[in-house]
Amino acid sequence: MQVEKRVRELVEEKISDRPELFIVNITMLKNGILSILLDGDNGISIEDCVAVSRHVGYHLEEENVIEQAYRLEVSSPGIDSPLTMQRQYDKNIGRDVRVKLVNGDKKEGKLLAASASEIVVEEKVKEKGKKAELKEAILPIDQIKETRVLISFK
């Protein structure tokens, strides 16, 4: 059985009574780190990460799922991590984002909407000699290479 698959089952079991929490990614890295990234529609607490870590760690040890030495890390995606799933886009509606497209173009503006097939970003477009205008850009998900939330310190 694949390690990631069993870990996913254990995490889902632990957060089953918490529908606002979700798995972003589970990876067994070559350097022996088992990384579990969790998030929540309203963020995730350290206590939630600790509870998942204890649950997963206990069962992995009991079942002897991983033969070699490993380190278990449970955390939320960093503020600079790209958005990778629909729920992350949904929770960031209204925030400013930078989107890199597959063709190399970049778009920057407020995330207005997100669906399984596209996102809508309101960007300021300034043409020479004119006042900046707000325009909506509809960006198909399959054309997006990366989306990051822009951090404002204003």
* pLDDT given at position 47: 96
* pLDDT given at position 151: 86
CATH of domain 3-75: 3.30.300.20
* pLDDT given at position 108: 95
Query: Nearest 5°: CA angle at 3, between 52 and 23?
Result: 40
Tokens of 60: 């992995």
* pLDDT given at position 80: 81
In terms of Cα–Cα distance, which of 52, 51, 57, 50 is closest to 72?
57
Topology of domain 86-149, CATH: SH3 type barrels. (2.30.30)
In terms of Cα–Cα distance, which of 118, 109, 1 is closest to 60?
1
* pLDDT given at position 100: 97
* pLDDT given at position 92: 94
| Domain ranges across the chain | 3-75, 86-149
**Within the chain, which residues score under 70 in pLDDT?**
1, 154
Q: What is the value of pTM for the model shown?
A: 0.80
